Structure 1
Amino acid sequence: MAGRAAVLQLLPLSAAEDERVSPLRGGFPEVVARPSVAATWFRSYAATYLERDVRAVRMVHDLATYRRFMALLATRAGHMLNRSDIAAPLGVTVPTVSAWLSILEVTGQVLLVPPFYEDLGKRLVKSPKVYFGDSGLLCHLLGIDTAAELARSPFLGAVFENFVATEIAKHQLNTGRRIEFYWFRDQQGLEVDFVVPGASRALVLLEAKATTSPRPDMGVPLRKLAEAAHGRKTAAFVVHQGVRGGSAAGVLCPGVKAIAVGRLSDVLRR
């Protein structure tokens, strides 16, 4: 009967649950346990998803174009969603792209992260950003199979940002909360990757940088947004690819700390 069952949403493993989880391989248990079979597993996963899950949610007659849609969407990960920009090269309509995006959301393949709307005295951008639910699947769709390929890929920054996005979502679900985080950009070009609400209207501000040596200038957007959040307690961090188990957050610039992605859950507990 209604109200007598709990519904739990499960995502792939997080870095806090298994230290082998990484931007390249993601967190699916099968891939984490046997990274040598990652390419074969992701090919099978994509085929099964298309043949079973997509058709179960909504009849998609042109699976070949849907596959191209997924691959094209992978190149837009970490970017503001522009449905027209996706529809045009596929030769489909914007409503079709919207319907296909809803399939990906319902089946847990993508996260659409809304912008932070709160009035900060600025004109704000109001389109969501798109991320894949697993960075390993994202790398597969981008044709990235090895750490060396990822390191020299033009998509390195987007893949790392996607990894941070999924780690935020996993932390929230694993601590009994709903997924709730945002991104920020105003009309003047100030942009921050993630705005995570905390208790008592506090905000955790995060900027994801695919580097092991973050620079002080990387914290400037965070500091500016923190200064604009009048009356809100804020904590600002540049999340980087530092060595797991390294030192705790260190000051990067006034009001901003740098923290390795392996310690992200520490700051999200605030």
Structure 2
Amino acid sequence: LGFSHAEVAGLGAGAFVPEEKFLLQRAQEAEILPMRDLFGQIWRGSMPALNNASEQDWNNYYSSYVQTFLQRDVRALTQVNDELQFYRFLCAAASYTGSMINYAALAKEAEITAPTAKQWLKVLVAAGLVYLLEPFMHPNLKYGVKAPKVYFTDTGLAAYLLRWSNAEILEAGAMSSSFLETWAVMEIYKSFSNCGQIPPLGYYRDFNSREVELVLNVDGSIHPLAIRKSSSPVKETKKFDILRPVTEGERALKLGAGGVICFANDLLPIDARNWYIPAGLL
């Protein structure tokens, strides 16, 4: 994994759990990042070599990175006879970052079979280029989808593969929300991984398409998080109610503190349990 935002910004170490004490501490340490600055980070990516790099350096770096990956790492991990076909698959996979995986659609885009798409996605996971976020499961949640969501571990690589040529175009583009979600999920993933912990992350989406983008399962409590490209998202925490069944029965869990990761100008309480969390606090 590349640098985390917390490392670059010099914030205190610690796994990101949206509880009051942690959030208030972060709010004292961290700067509120304007959307433009954050999308600059998202577009540039987290590779150490690209910290403060120019656009030309960015293009050269990722061009070399992809070539090395195709010519060396892919051959070590799987039998691929056609590097160009695998490159097409890699670009198609990048278009799914922040989305549920659909192997049939991915295969069609890459002009391969669905079993091959599934196998090649495993190669990207094994190589550390992709993280699959599994659905949050509980016996009381009977109507959740079971497909994982795909996240490129480095947003800069995904931007390069999809030909987003600068941060401004990415911010204004159709995939800006998917890239923000990818960045936020990976920052929280890194916060646990950098502490030597297996990241306890999942998501929940029911058959009515109501979704909680991130569910943290920590010490018997679940912490729901929404992720929105807005400075004042409204009614986002109401969908957290779809998780209430987990608080009942023999295997009950507590519904802990949560919030909406967004572009609010400050850390602000929404209600007794949830917060507006500026993205820069990650």
Residues 217-264 of structure 1, C-alpha deviations (whole Å, 9 max, x = no match):
223223x1353431413111111135xxx63x3123564211012213
Among 169, 186, 198, the residue aligned to 2:218: 198
Give 1:164-203 correspondences, 5 Å limit: 164-199=184-219, 201-203=220-222
Preserved CA contact (<8 Å) 1:226 1:236: no
Q: Distance in 2 between matches of 1:69 and 1:133?
A: 17
SS of the residue corresponding to residue 42 of structure 1 reads: helix
Give the Å deviation of 1:148.
1.2
Match of 1:232 in 2: 254
Preserved CA contact (<8 Å) 1:215 1:252: no
Preserved CA contact (<8 Å) 2:200 2:218: no
Match of 2:17 in 1: none
For normalisation by structure 2, the TM-score amounts to 0.82
Among 213, 216, 219, the residue aligned to 2:234: 216
Instruction: Kindly provide the amino acid, as one letter, of the partner of residue 238 in structure 1.
Output: V
Task: Report the more deviating stretch, 124-133 or 183-192.
Answer: 183-192
State whether structure 2 residue 68 is matched by structure 1 residue 48.
Answer: yes
Q: Distance in 1 between matches of 2:210 and 2:275?
A: 19
Preserved CA contact (<8 Å) 1:23 1:163: yes
What stretches of structure 1 of length at least 5 have no aligned partner? 1-10, 265-270
Q: Distance in 1 between matches of 2:52 and 2:69?
A: 21
Match of 2:263 in 1: 241
Match of 2:115 in 1: 95
Q: Distance in 2 between matches of 1:75 and 1:82?
A: 12
Instruction: Kindly provide the amino acid, as one letter, of the partner of residue 76 in structure 1.
Output: Y
For normalisation by structure 1, the TM-score amounts to 0.86
Among 137, 146, 149, the residue aligned to 1:129: 149
Give the Å deviation of 1:89.
2.9
SS of the residue corresponding to residue 237 of structure 1 reads: strand
Among 109, 117, 128, the residue aligned to 2:129: 109
Give the Å deviation of 1:151.
1.7
RMSD: 1.8
Instruction: Kindly provide the amino acid, as one letter, of the partner of residue 257 in structure 2.
Output: A
Match of 2:14 in 1: none
The answer to which structure, 1 or 2, has the higher relative contact order (CA under 8 A, 6+ apart) is 2
Instruction: Give the % identical residues.
Output: 28
Distance 1:225 1:255, change over 3 A: farther
Q: Distance in 1 between matches of 2:271 and 2:91?
A: 38
Instruction: Kindly provide the amino acid, as one letter, of the partner of residue 85 in structure 2.
Output: T
Preserved CA contact (<8 Å) 2:217 2:223: yes
| Count of aligned pairs between the two proteins | 247
Which of structure 1's runs of 4+ aligned residues deviate more than 6 A? Answer: none
SS of the residue corresponding to residue 214 of structure 1 reads: coil
